[in-house]
Amino acid sequence: MTDRDPNRLPTTVTPHHYDLWFHPRLEDATFTGSADVEVTVHEPVDEIVLHALDLDIVDAALERKGERVALEPSFDAATETATLDAGTTIESGDWTLRLRFAGELNDKLVGFYRSTYTDDHGVERTLACTQFESTHARRAFPCWDEPAWKATYAITMRIAEDLFAVSNATDTSVERVEGGDKLVRFATTMSMSTYLVAMVVGPLEATEPVDVDGVPLRVVAPIGRGHLTGFALEVGAFALRYLADWYDIAYPGDKVDLVAVPDFSFGAMENLGCITFRETLLLVDEERATQAELQNVVDVIAHELAHMWFGDLVTMQWWEGIWLNEAFATFMEMMTTDAFRPKWQRWVDFGIARSMAFDTDSLSTTRPIEYEVVTAEDAEGMFDVLTYEKGASVVRMLQQYLGEDRFQAGIRHYLRTHAYGNTATTDLWDAIEEATGEPVRSIMDTWIFRPGHPVVSVERDGDALVLRQQRFGYRPDPAAGVTSPTEDDRAVPVVVRTGAGDATSTTRVLLDGPEGRVELEGPVDWVVGNHEGNGFYRVELSNADLAAVGGRALAALSPIERYGLVEDEWALLLAGRGSVARVTDVLRSLGGDDDLAVWKRMIAVLASLDRLVGDGSRADLQAWSRALLGPALHRLGPTRVDGEGDLVTALRATLTLASVLQGDDRHQVDLARDRFAAAADGPVADVDADLADAAVRIVASRADEATWEELRRRANEATTAQDRLRHQGALADAEDPALVMRFCDLVLTDEIRTQDGLFLLRRALSNRTAADQVWAFVEEHWTTLNERFPSASVPRMLEGVRTFGDRALAERVAAFLAEHPVPQGEQVIRQHVERMWVSVAMAERIPAELAAVIA
């Protein structure tokens, strides 16, 4: 008998339908349940192996046609499985597996767990919620908890009379039973994977359903928060209709509920028909939310609804394919948001997320987008910036290379061909090849299965351009113990745009070797090496060509191309290929820009320089930054004017904040303090939400103890999730390390939700003046942090070390993390540490060069 992979279930017995019954007892945080699973035994066996974790299986048996075989359960904690021993041979055929079990509603925000909130009367209320992705359905019921084992589900819940329950399908009946409870039965779902099963029960209220071409859509929220559901309903209806039309396939479920959960470890979860969200990403007061907060709500609703087809209807065969689900949903999120609010220029703003993917992918410790997944920890580690943002970037690159119509035809062909089934990545490329006739698989394999990305250098050779590709990487510090790879040979869809006088032309070339040549029709004045920023590669221009695009050609460049200038020059500096002078020249040339995304990238560079510069030169850098930021802010005026666009309003607030944090503008500090004081009892009519948000962050950065306590008061009395997080996060921004340490202590109390705690601690780690003390706090409380908070958020917290530029502190961090491994994020931690050493190298390498440039 061949040895079975202990991390995969045997294929001898497989499910095709679950009848599930649950009785959650919110008052004592327990639940009981039963599962009648219709299974097929494919060959005679004497045991059944399935997943179960933290469950007590109190009875198990197989039945068919009058036969009953009692099963004895035993558990393997390492593989999170239960073995049901028959003590006899089970013959092949169709059987019903009957299971009764019990478990606890845990506080880890995975499996079947408790969540609490305080209602409008100050009373703490409790609800129960599920989060099963990636491998946590096994914590709620014994099951075949692998994505390939799709089945249908019929769920019944016994709950208290005054509670509300929601699941994947429409409730078909409600029956009162003894004890003041009721049975809520839900319709049978389509065939789907276990990680998509969902239940939420508690003191909740639902909006009246909105009919979206025959699909009822509701928003479900804790009681008392129904007034914050309007925007989500509008967005959900638009997105559901837009996506069904784009895919040209009807929504595969019988309803859609968007459910706000007070405690939720992820942003949201694409459970079929029962999509769960953090409150801050679903419930919003449009009048008091910033443009970024509203855009986040649209993005996340669109992302999760996109999964209803790409992920739920068609699902990956195994967890290494999760990248495609998430990357494509991220891509469709951009498409949908761009259609919902074209003036937000979502594809331009995507450059910011893409920059984060570029940053990690520039490390020697990066990984391929798709890689082997063996254990549950491996699967959890897949949910990172390379899966989402790099994955979406290469999907966008393919779409733009093929053309939008041909790409869409390929996606529709893929979804129709594999509906209700499971696929591997190559199935998608093959479907697009069939629809377009292009060699999609050979192109995309070099992007999906290889780590890193290229830098494409562009050089003149008479009336031609010579393109050369090389693996891009940051210059490593020797202490990191890594070397930057330089060899690369992949198929790069390069699109070059050139200009001569008033004429421009675009040339597409598939650079499938180290070097390529683009013949031009004559001399050109300027060249853009990545037209509209669609390619996932860096561009290195000569000094002369950089000066040309940053000078006379600037007006011809789109916002994303201007963004790309800043992005690429900063990356080249980190790699040791560029210079501070090139970076500052680009920043100066863009000082008159009016695009929000471009300014956000410029300000990010200024913030990085501020962390790297020595204290002796910091005042000079702040003066240089004020000279850059001041005129741009002056052009916009101090407050919003009637009729101006959302992005203009957001830009004013962005520049205001930067003028203080990077420019030390004392006048803006005084204005912010006035605005903050005026808002003590609530929003001020003539201060827009974006400017009010900037005022909070400015005041927090200069806070004394009284101001810090006022921020804390406002956080605790906030009436929206956005306001609460705005003020809690600001507590981590104080320049006084003692106040930052008080904030760290709060993270370990119930004052800050466990879903938020480590994300906010990451912000404290990034505090320029308190990093050393905050890291000491992490070391001291390491065990508590790992026990108290969701495991997936630990690697996210440690992202804060990437900004550390002090060698002694970096050595402490590296040594500590080497001795305290994080199994669910080993690769991500290695990336954080390597990126930290890049910051150390930069902090030691560039201050003298920077001082000479800004003096």
Q: How far is CA 155 from CA 111, 151, 173, 187, 199, in A?
A: 16, 13, 11, 7, 9
DSSP 8-class letter at 3: P
Catalytic residue, chosen from 133, 146, 270, 304, is 304
What sign results for the dihedral spanned by CA atoms 721, 723, 728, 729? positive
Angle (deg, nearest 10), helices 346-361 and 391-402:
120
Q: How far is CA 352 from CA 43, 323, 564, 764, in A?
A: 53, 20, 10, 21
Separation CA 307–CA 285 (nearest Å): 26
Three-class DSSP category at 13? strand
Separation CA 184–CA 775 (nearest Å): 49
Q: How far is CA 484 from CA 97, 465, 805, in A?
A: 54, 27, 20
Cβ atoms of 699 and 707 closer than 8 Å: yes
> Which H or E element spans position 242?
helix 230-247
Lookup: tokens for 139: 């914590």
Place of tokens 């949201």: 268
Q: Buried b / exposed e across 804-838, counting CB within 10 Å, b at 16+?
A: bbbeebbebbbeebeeeebebbebbbbbbbbbbbb
Lookup: tokens for 278: 């953090």
Contacts of 405 (CB under 8 A, 6+ apart): none
Separation CA 417–CA 151 (nearest Å): 19
How many Å from the N-terminal Cα to the C-terminal Cα in the chain?
75
- For Cα atoms 86, 91, 97, give the angle at the middle one, nearest 5 degrees: 55
Number of separate helices (H) and strands (E) present in the chain? 28, 30
Pairing of strands 81-90, 164-167: unpaired
185 phi and psi, to 5 degrees? -105, 140
Pairing of strands 464-471, 454-460: antiparallel
Place of tokens 């697009």: 432
Q: How far is CA 474 from CA 453, 834, 841, 847, in A?
A: 12, 10, 10, 18
The question of whether 304 is a catalytic residue gets the answer yes
Closest CA to 806 of 675, 611, 650: 611
Cβ atoms of 259 and 276 closer than 8 Å: yes
Separation CA 493–CA 510 (nearest Å): 5
Pairing of strands 274-278, 256-261: parallel
Separation CA 645–CA 744 (nearest Å): 38
DSSP 8-class letter at 310: B
DSSP 499-524: EETTEEEEEEEEE-SSEEEEE-SS--
- What residues are labeled active site? 304
